[in-house]
Amino acid sequence: MSRIRDTFVDLKHAGCGGFIPFITAGDPDLATTERLLVELAAAGADIVELGVPFSDPVADGEVIQRASERALRKGTTLSDALECVSNAKEHIDVPIVLFSYLNPLLKFGRDRLAEEARRAGIDAVLITDLIPEEAGPWITAFREHKMDLIFLVAPTTSDERLARIAQQTSGFIYAVSRTGVTGTRNEMPRDAESLVKRVRAVSDLPVAVGFGISTPEQVSQVWRFADAAVIGSALVRQIEKLAGSPELVDRIGEFARSFLKSKQICQTTGS
């Protein structure tokens, strides 16, 4: 069993939903990224997603696109992201998912990535645009290094394709709450709960819901039907607002904790 599955087992035993924040490597800079990884773990993150900045994202909304642009202007690379994780892992033990598009990983090299990501302390890789039909060599490479490969599913994913993805995914399944790109939304899409039910019908893997989750209330809603909530754009927007502030890391920690009030209750009752 992977460390990510272990995390979800512990959450289930405690009767809690998981909290998975997302940040972009190199935004606003690499030193701050390392500090943010440590701070998010201290704030109560169960898993952290670290995005590899990419110049041509197709699933990211404007907030995360701008974060990638800022990081790329400073020359942030995949190697830099791995080094951030390696440095942060000296202080934390929270599982980390490397979140990337396929092109940067292809340029880096599949086997090299598997080896260096594991050495850095990466627990899983999520490749947004890797299709199941071409995933075999990637699955093999990562599993040989005891890492999970996580796939996205969306409300538009057919039942047949959903079953295929469920067979190839390990760690957890990332359910996109709605069609379209990332970004904050005022209401939780109805498609999200329906999609999670469809995933449950073909897999016993934990399900995390992301895209558009931006308030503590929405996180609590997700926890009622899924195993974890992913907070991306709302967090990255706060990093953008606080750029240049010496209080950025502390303020982001406070912001992350604001999503966890109901979780603190469940941890008390679960223990």
pLDDT band for 270, please (50, 70, 90 cuts).
Answer: very low
Whether 155 contacts 194, CB under 8 Å = yes
What does pTM read for this prediction?
A: 0.92
- Name the residue among 87, 52, 61 with its Cα closest to residue 178: 61
Which positions are annotated as active-site residues? 49, 60
The dihedrals phi and psi of 40, each to the nearest 5 degrees, come to -65, -35
Q: Is the dihedral of CA 49, 52, 57, 58 positive or negative?
A: negative
From residue 47, alpha-carbon distances to 19, 157, 164 in Å are 7, 25, 25
Write the secondary structure of 190-223 as one string of H (helix), E (strand) and C (coil).
Answer: CHHHHHHHHHHHHCCCCEEEECCCCCHHHHHHHH
Identify the pLDDT of residue 185.
47
pLDDT band for 30, please (50, 70, 90 cuts).
Answer: very high
CA angle 193, 196, 201 (to 5 degrees): 130
Higher pLDDT, 56 or 156: 156
Q: Position of tokens 């990535």?
A: 113
Q: Convert the pLDDT of each residue in 63-117 to its tens digit.
A: 999 999 999 999 999 999 999 999 999 999 999 999 999 999 999 999 999 999 9
SS3 of residue 147 by DSSP: coil
**173-176: strand order across its sheet:** 148-150, 124-127, 96-100, 48-51, 18-24, 228-231, 207-210, 173-176, 152-153
- For 134, which DSSP code? G
- Name the residue among 42, 3, 12, 2 with its Cα closest to residue 207: 12
pLDDT band for 29, please (50, 70, 90 cuts).
Answer: very high
Element (H, E) at 184: none
Q: Quick one: tokens of 36?
A: 């943010």
Q: Convert the pLDDT of each residue in 178-226 to its tens digit.
A: 554 444 445 555 789 999 999 999 999 999 999 889 899 999 999 999 9
Q: Name 203's Cβ contacts closer than 8 Å, sequence gap at least 6.
A: 166, 169, 173
